Amino acid sequence: MSPVLKYTISVFFAFGCCVLLPEQSMALQTHGAPEGIYVHQMAHILYMAAMGYLYWDTKRSTFPGRGWIYLRIFCVFTILWNFLALIGHASTQHLHPEDFTNVDGYLFSKVNMPLTFVKVVYYTAKLDHLLAVPAMFFLYMSLRSFYKNSLKKDGE
Amino acid sequence: MEMYMLPSVITDIIGSQLMIVLSFLSLRYTFLLIRREPDNFLWGFLHYFCIALAIFAISRAVGHMVKQALLISDQKEIWKMISPFSGGINTLLMISVSAVTIYYHKGVEGYRAIQQKAESLRHANRNLEKATTTMKEMNLHLEEMVESRTQDLALSEEKFRNFFHNSKDMVFFIDKEGAILDMNKAGLEMLDYSKEKPPRLSLNHLFANINDLEDFQNTLSSQKFVEDFEAELIKKDGSIIYALLSATGIYDENDEYVGCEGIAKDLTRLKTMTAQMISTEKMASVGQMAAGVAHEINTPLGIILGYSQLMKDDFPENSEEYENLVVVERQSHACRKIVADLLKFSRQSGSSAQEVNINEILTDVIAITEHNLHLDHIDIEHCLAEDLPVIAGDEEKLRQVFVNLINNAQHAMEDEGGVLTVRTSFSKEEQMVTASVIDMGTGIDEKIRSRIFDPFFTTKSVGKGTGLGLSVSYGIIKDHNGTITIESPVMYKNSCQLTPGTAMHVRLPVLGQDDNRESTPATDNQLLEKDKNG
């Protein structure tokens, strides 16, 4: 039997097993519900690490100008936001629908007593825009400063 | 105490909108930055970072607002269905933002290296700018200095050029071989060379005496200069001028002799005047002496003559004593003639001024002497100017002058014969009449030329001349305020060939000019002018 024929038969056999006996083939991994939240949390961690690195490197590089200071402040706020979001997402894993009341509609929903640490963390994490917006504001300030410096440099 | 969720809902809605606005404002600036500086890596990174953030902000904010809207409108089921997609996209975008940031790591290293290079370049540029500014300032000062120096140089050059061109003395430059590199107009005029196309000359051409040249060069090499060096220089036509040379050697940076620059002053006129003064003094003293001698001899001579004539009466004719007294009387008469000639030379004999035509005198003299000249195979050629103006003078004395000159010419040609030329001319400018007697004889030796007007100086053999002929002629012409000059060798006729003969030129002022003329003894001047011309 020629090697080409042997190879062809092997490929067809493997394909047949996958189609006819999927449990036996173990070719695909199944993804359960928690995977989404895990990936999301890992993305937050990755985001934090990236911002930490950016902070460290811009400080190490001693690039001149106020814009870089604003950029580093952006990094700090973004790290804090990520951290808040991370623990906010984690806190939802420990909350139940009966911890909230929305009898009068969604806008008037409230956290039921007694207050627990998880509930406080969740409530605080829901206000994450108080960190995310300043972070974006400092990024904006940073880029504005870079642009003004660029204009000034050309003006010279 | 109750904790309502409304603040978080409001914060979420407003914050989401602000996030979108701020992310797009940031994106706008990165866009402007990369448009201004497309090569800047950092702006490129921040631009992609902001794009990712803007998309993230939109995704998240829209998701949040949709969520709030659905929950407010009590449509939980729909939000439950959308929620995983929104979360997934948000996750994906967060990873993208992180990835872009991590990508920054590689790029920023290159950018940092570029920045360092750029900084060093900027530093170099700053230094260069400083150097350029300094150079500009120096250049500006240099230009001012160059301009100032150029003006000074131009002034100096103009002074030098004026000195070179306007100097009345010869100014010359000579290379180390002795060739004349440049000579001013006065120098060329001094040597009779053309100013337009001067020939290539050298010191060898100029110096008449080779010993003078050697002395000049030796002095120059030993002292590095030559001061008041007298030398005879040769003119274009071969005649000689006397010059006083001063020269300074030129040396290069290695102290090697490369030539010299010098000045030459024509001393010929000064020499002539000096010789003229010497001659005048000499002739004046000789004249005085001759006059004294003549007066002293004249008295005893008269007594000798008187007594010899008285004694002749005491002796019969044909007696020996009588014959001896006749000899004494004859020789006494000869002596008296000599004394009379001496008086004429010293201009102490009387003369009568009247209108005289030189042509007529010469015609008479030729007629008298023609026979004797033919005996010596001498032909006479006369070229007498027509309408020759009359002069004021003593006809007899002038006749005696020309007889003397023709006799001398005959003497010079008596062995070989030849042509004796008599010529007259008139110069309107000078108002002078010139009469020339030109022979083809042996010429006058340079050594005796200055003595030929001396009394009793003669080249004739004993008994053939007393040596008073030219002295007397000199005295007579001087008495007429004229000049008598010698030219020997002479340019025969109009040819350019010099013959060894002699030309005697008598120049006399026409009537009416006499009073205006100074009674300076031009004869000697003229004589010496001819002497210098060889």
Task: Give the B window 20-79 contacts with A, CB below 8 Å.
Answer: 22-23, 25-26, 29-30, 32-33, 36-37, 42-43, 46, 50, 53, 57, 71-72, 74
- Within this chain, do residues B276 and B389 fall inside the same structural domain, yes or no? no
- Find, among A140, A41, A37, the residue nearest to A84 by Cα: A41
- Within this chain, do residues B519 and B426 fall inside the same structural domain, yes or no? yes
- Within this chain, do residues A55 and A15 fall inside the same structural domain, yes or no? no
- Within this chain, do residues A80 and A19 fall inside the same structural domain, yes or no? no
The model's confidence at residue B424, banded by pLDDT at 50, 70 and 90, is very high
- Flag whether pLDDT at A156 surpasses 60: no
Q: How far apart are CA B78 and CA B91, in angstroms?
A: 20
- Flag whether pLDDT at B261 surpasses 70: yes
| Residue B328, domain member (yes or no) | yes
Binary contact (B104, A46; C-beta < 8 A): no
Q: What is the pLDDT of residues B289-334, one digit of tens each?
A: 777 777 778 788 888 888 888 888 888 888 888 888 888 888 888 8
| Residue B160, domain member (yes or no) | no
Domain boundary among B266, B283, B307: B266
Q: Which residue has the higher pLDDT, B94 or A64?
A: B94
- Flag whether pLDDT at A100 surpasses 90: no
Domain harbouring B525, CATH code: 3.30.565.10
Poorest-confidence range of A30-39, B129-138, B399-408? A30-39
| pTM (two decimals) | 0.41
Q: How far apart are CA A28 and CA B317, in angstroms?
A: 197
What DSSP designation does B199 have? -
- Within this chain, do residues A84 and A115 fall inside the same structural domain, yes or no? yes
pLDDT of B21 reads 92
Copy the structure tokens of residue B4.
Answer: 């309502």
- Within this chain, do residues A16 and A44 fall inside the same structural domain, yes or no? no
Spatial neighbors of B365 by CB under 8 A, at least 6 apart, are B399, B402, B403, B406
| Residue B162, domain member (yes or no) | no
Task: Give the B window 135-154 contacts with A, CB below 8 Å.
Answer: none
| Residue B152, domain member (yes or no) | no
- Flag whether pLDDT at A75 surpasses 80: yes
Domain harbouring B323, CATH code: 1.10.287
Binary contact (A111, B12; C-beta < 8 A): no
Q: What is the pLDDT of residues B109-129, one digit of tens each?
A: 777 777 788 888 889 989 999
- Within this chain, do residues B78 and B127 fall inside the same structural domain, yes or no? yes
- Within this chain, do residues B294 and B443 fall inside the same structural domain, yes or no? no
Task: Give the B window 73-132 contacts with A, CB below 8 Å.
Answer: 74, 84, 87-88, 90-91, 94-95, 97-99, 101-102, 104-105, 108, 112
Domain boundary among B324, B345, B366: B345
- Flag whether pLDDT at B524 surpasses 50: no
Domain harbouring B178, CATH code: 3.30.450.20
- Within this chain, do residues B314 and B404 fall inside the same structural domain, yes or no? no
The model's confidence at residue B22, banded by pLDDT at 50, 70 and 90, is very high
- Flag whether pLDDT at B534 surpasses 50: no
Q: How far apart are CA B77 and CA B429, in angstroms?
A: 146
pLDDT of A79 reads 94
Q: Nearest-5° angle of CA B154, CA B155, CA B160? A: 95
- Within this chain, do residues B376 and B500 fall inside the same structural domain, yes or no? yes
Contacts of B66 in chain A (CB under 8 A): none
Contacts of B88 in chain A (CB under 8 A): 36
- Within this chain, do residues A1 and A67 fall inside the same structural domain, yes or no? no
Q: What is the pLDDT of residues B144-197, one digit of tens each?
A: 888 899 999 999 989 888 888 888 889 989 988 888 888 888 888 888 888 777
- Please name the helix (run of DSSP H) or strand (run of DSSP E) that holds residue A73, with its range, or none: helix A66-92
- Within this chain, do residues A50 and A95 fall inside the same structural domain, yes or no? yes
- Flag whether pLDDT at A33 surpasses 80: no
Tokens 């190879």: give the residue.
A7
Task: Give the A window 64-93 contacts with B, CB below 8 Å.
Answer: none
The model's confidence at residue A83, banded by pLDDT at 50, 70 and 90, is very high
- Within this chain, do residues B414 and B288 fall inside the same structural domain, yes or no? no
pLDDT (mean) for B10-37? 90
- Within this chain, do residues A2 and A62 fall inside the same structural domain, yes or no? no
Q: Which residue has the higher pLDDT, B514 or A77?
A: A77
**Domain carrying residue B11:** 6-140
Torsion sign over Cα B465, B467, B473, B475: negative
Number of domains in chain B: 4
Domain boundary among B232, B266, B300: B266
| Residue B158, domain member (yes or no) | no
- Within this chain, do residues A14 and A64 fall inside the same structural domain, yes or no? no
- Flag whether pLDDT at B521 surpasses 70: no
Instruction: Please check whether residue B496 touches A, CB under 8 A.
Output: no
- Within this chain, do residues B83 and B130 fall inside the same structural domain, yes or no? yes
pLDDT of B526 reads 43
- Find, among B324, B303, B301, the residue nearest to B312 by Cα: B324
The model's confidence at residue B517, banded by pLDDT at 50, 70 and 90, is very low
pLDDT of A72 reads 92
- Within this chain, do residues B214 and B136 fall inside the same structural domain, yes or no? no
- Within this chain, do residues A21 and A88 fall inside the same structural domain, yes or no? no
Poorest-confidence range of B449-458, B485-494, B524-533? B524-533
Taking all residues of chain B, what is their mean pLDDT, rounded to a whole number? 82
pLDDT of B528 reads 39
Copy the structure tokens of residue B488.
Answer: 């020997």
Contacts of A150 in chain B (CB under 8 A): 33, 36-37
Number of domains in chain A: 2
- Within this chain, do residues A65 and A142 fall inside the same structural domain, yes or no? yes
- Within this chain, do residues B79 and B221 fall inside the same structural domain, yes or no? no
pLDDT of B525 reads 39
- Within this chain, do residues B406 and B481 fall inside the same structural domain, yes or no? yes
SS3 A156: coil
pLDDT of B30 reads 92
- Flag whether pLDDT at A138 surpasses 90: yes
- Within this chain, do residues B368 and B455 fall inside the same structural domain, yes or no? yes
- Within this chain, do residues A19 and A95 fall inside the same structural domain, yes or no? no
Kindly give the residue spans of alpha helices, DSSP state H, lying in B37-168.
Answer: 41-72, 76-166
Question: What is the chain B residue with the closest CA to A43?
Answer: B95
Q: How far apart are CA B356 and CA B509, in angstroms?
A: 11
**Domain carrying residue A12:** 1-30
- Within this chain, do residues A38 and A89 fall inside the same structural domain, yes or no? yes
Q: How far apart are CA B425 and CA B411, in angstroms?
A: 25
Q: What is the dihedral of CA B332, B334, B337, B339, to 10 degrees?
A: -60
- For the ranges A129-143, B249-263, B335-349, B418-432, the one whose mean pLDDT is highest: A129-143
Q: What is the pLDDT of residues B361-411, one digit of tens each?
A: 999 888 888 888 888 889 888 888 888 899 988 888 888 889 889 988 888
